[in-house]
Chain A
Amino acid sequence: MGPTSSIEQPPRIVSVWFPDWPVTAAGFDAGTAAAVMSANRVVARTAAAAADGVVIGQRRRQAQRRCPHLTLVERDTDRDAREFEPVVRVVAELSPRLDVIEPGWISLLARGPARYFGGDRAFTDVLAERLVETIAAAGTPATGIGIGVADGRFASSVAARLAARRAAAVIVEPGDSPTFCAELPIGWLQTLGECDAELVELFGRLGLRRLGDLAALPVTDVLGRFGHPGVHAHRLASGADVRPASTTDPAPERRLDHVLDDPAAQSGAVVFIAKQLADELADTLAADGRVCTRLVVILESEHGERSERSWYRSAGLSAAAMVERVRWQLDAWVELPRGSEQELTGGVVLVRLVPEEVRADDGMQLGLWGGQSEADRQAARAIARLTTLTSDDAVVVPVWHGGRLPAERYRWVSASTVDLDRRARAVSSAGTGSGPSGPWPGTLPSPSPATVFADPHPAELLDEHGDTVRVSARGMVSGRPATLLLLSGDEATGWRRGRPRRIVAWAGPWPVEERWWEPGRHRRLARLQVVTDDGDGFLVVAEHRRWWISARYD
């Protein structure tokens, strides 16, 4: 152990881990093949999907190839947090001092409850029983529960993940954490978000395959070669998961609060205040080169009800992450069942952010000349403000989807569900120039229309004799298109015809036949480009024996 043994012993920690929590939150049971996607990659899947070979990190296409009947849903971190709330409440009944690391992952100090219930094993049994009850009450769980007990948060989190695989609590006896850690592959440092991928890869290239290999190196050499992130990794690998004492005690003036004269009844207003506090807190900490790793959020209502929760993230909480946690906590408070203790009955009058644990920010610094630019940072702030001003669904960013019709090619997703910084790199590396994956077969050649209607406008296309143009089953038009009429109104009140536009040039029809193997979603349509005498270009589509304007080249 050498130099680390002189430091105080790491506290004994119980970690609770729900593997693939997002699918449970989305309401799937273990028997349904389902997966939750984020940025086109699988982030969680049910046991049935896993059995078919769906792996986390897989692309949508690959996952669907492995498991054709896979149900896919988009990730919604708010939903994950909301559904996780009952679980947090159950654990809080047993031990109030708990840290929510992310939805699906809690840690708490083992000492008090273990002593009360008569040992680690007895406590984990009680905990597991309660949790199974809670989850079962909400429906059939998609995945199991992992409970791990060990000295130090890192060892305990690993134990919880192993426990989820073995379907039994993993308890590392007091003092055994160093031996437990020594046998683990080095990749755990990255899996638990303690170290970045590059550092872990470098360790691997240097031949440090297990945590024990790293722990065997003298700490001074690690410091000289890898700096503070390396020392952090070394500390975890040695099973001594204690932050140096100097960094765990933030000055009391760091706590920030805001008292509202008018109780805020809308959660948007509270989140907005939290955003300001979080920005200020993150900025003052950053000015000292520090970052907050554990944040206690306290909310109070005008009737004296109180919501207090502690949030932990080993990589440090950015201002955006703090606000997200305030929003989760607020949502959970609002949805507290009627009649429960601390139920929210009035407006919020106090928002307080207390950084319980800060440490030196050895992570990424914003570069002056590289990385995230000032423009990116300002835009991220403006997006957050716009979201509070309107709603989550109103502020959206495009995500490549693919398809033959202009309206299908991109989907708009809520900006708050997207990590804009990471996305900037992901999207540009995919190269959006001609569509991220090269030309999509069957799309019309460039230029693409500048105006695309999500819901196509009804129209009429007439030939020289004034008859509606038909497209035959073999993809031929019945006559030369001569006139285009835009329709307004609706089916019930009857369609009103707009001004007739003479067609001066046209081409097509280009047929599209999609999903002919799936009766419910089968689409068959034909596309036509037309230019009218006033110079307007349109993409018109024949579907269900009607004409629609799908896009306009304006």
Chain B
Amino acid sequence: MELAVELPSALPSALSSARSVLAERVAPLTLTGERTLPVSEAFTELFPERGLVRGRTLACSGPVATSLALALAAPAVAAGSWLAAIDVPTIGLDAASEFGIALERVVAVRTEAARWPDVVAAAADGFDLLLTRVPAEASPSAMRKVATRLRQRDVVMLVLGDPGPLSCDGVLHADGAEWIGLGDGHGHLQQRRLVVEASGRRLHGRRRCRLSLPG
């Protein structure tokens, strides 16, 4: 299958390039949003750019990682971006939909650890957002290639849990989750209050915010 990896999308598509040139000309102005994907109001404090900068990789860790990642991705998917969940078969679609993710733009890919870099590279060609777990046995050299590819393709990757050898541009860690609504034998889970802390080489300083999920 060397073939499949070497040959992608090399063929120029005259039509689509012509169309993008035209779109550029007729667009009223260059949107700052082109370089970032939107996030919901509560998260803007975490990022100096007030959005998810394209081409970056963020790790979500802690006991609220999955909800955090879904909440981060939701506004972009709602705005028309596509989300690929690579090797995250447990993604809760009801929760995703409650966060506002348009499920018709969600695709899940199952893959074995050995093919993970290839699959991520292929997905980077067509999706704005990737949600994945990094396989433990991934090699550092393959990870560097993946990171380069993501940067070239302007893709935001959200990593659940330990990013392993993959170097991330930022880490979002949620701690101190406090559940509201559930009592001792009565009620039901309603909301969770948490403190999210952002750190990492592209997120200078320690940035924190308090928020509620679902907000």
A395 touches B109 (CB 8 A): yes
CB-CB under 8 A from A534, the residues of chain B are: 63
A389 touches B185 (CB 8 A): no
Q: Is B13's beta carbon under 8 Å from chain A?
A: yes
CB-CB under 8 A from A390, the residues of chain B are: 109-111, 115, 119
B4 touches A388 (CB 8 A): yes
Q: Is B57's beta carbon under 8 Å from chain A?
A: no
A536 to chain B: closest residue by CB: B63
Q: Could you tell me the distance between the alpha carbons of A553 and B20 in the complex, rounded to whole angstroms?
A: 42
Q: Is B31's beta carbon under 8 Å from chain A?
A: no
Which of B46-54, B98-106, B164-172 sits within the interface? B98-106
B102 touches A432 (CB 8 A): yes
Interface of B is mostly: mixed
Return B184 CB to nearest CB of chain A, in Å: 6
Among A406, A412, A450, A536, max chain B CB count under 10 A is at A450
The interface size of chain A toward B, counting residues with CB under 8 Å, comes to: 74
A448 touches B119 (CB 8 A): no
Tell me the residues in window 425-440 of chain A with beta carbons closer than 8 Å to chain B beta carbons: 426-428, 432-435
A386 touches B109 (CB 8 A): yes
Return B173 CB to nearest CB of chain A, in Å: 13
B4 touches A268 (CB 8 A): yes
Q: Could you tell me the distance between the alpha carbons of A393 and B110 in the complex, rounded to whole angstroms?
A: 8
Q: Report which of A279, A432, A554 forms a contact with B64, defined as CB distance below 8 A.
A: A554
Return B94 CB to nearest CB of chain A, in Å: 4
B4 touches A428 (CB 8 A): no
Q: Could you tell me the distance between the alpha carbons of A535 and B119 in the complex, rounded to whole angstroms?
A: 34
B126 to chain A: closest residue by CB: A382
Return B195 CB to nearest CB of chain A, in Å: 12
Q: Could you tell me the distance between the alpha carbons of A395 and B1 in the complex, rounded to whole angstroms?
A: 18
B189 touches A553 (CB 8 A): yes
Q: Report which of B11, B20, B63 forms a contact with A374, defined as CB distance below 8 A.
A: B20
A529 touches B63 (CB 8 A): no
CB-CB under 8 A from B106, the residues of chain A are: 397-398
B179 touches A535 (CB 8 A): yes
CB-CB under 8 A from B15, the residues of chain A are: 283, 286-287
CB-CB under 8 A from B29, the residues of chain A are: none
- Taking Cβ atoms with an 8 Å cutoff, the residues of A that contact B are 264, 266, 268-269, 272, 276, 279-280, 283-284, 286-287, 366, 368, 373-383, 385-386, 388-390, 393-398, 406, 409-410, 412, 415, 423-424, 426-428, 432-435, 444-454, 480, 505-507, 529, 531, 534-537, 551, 553-554
The 6 closest A-B pairs by CB, nearest first: A382-B126, A448-B94, A427-B104, A450-B66, A379-B82, A535-B177
Known: A268-B4, A448-B98. 12 other contacts (CB 8 A): A381-B126, A383-B107, A386-B119, A396-B109, A428-B102, A433-B97, A446-B214, A447-B189, A449-B92, A451-B92, A454-B90, A554-B66
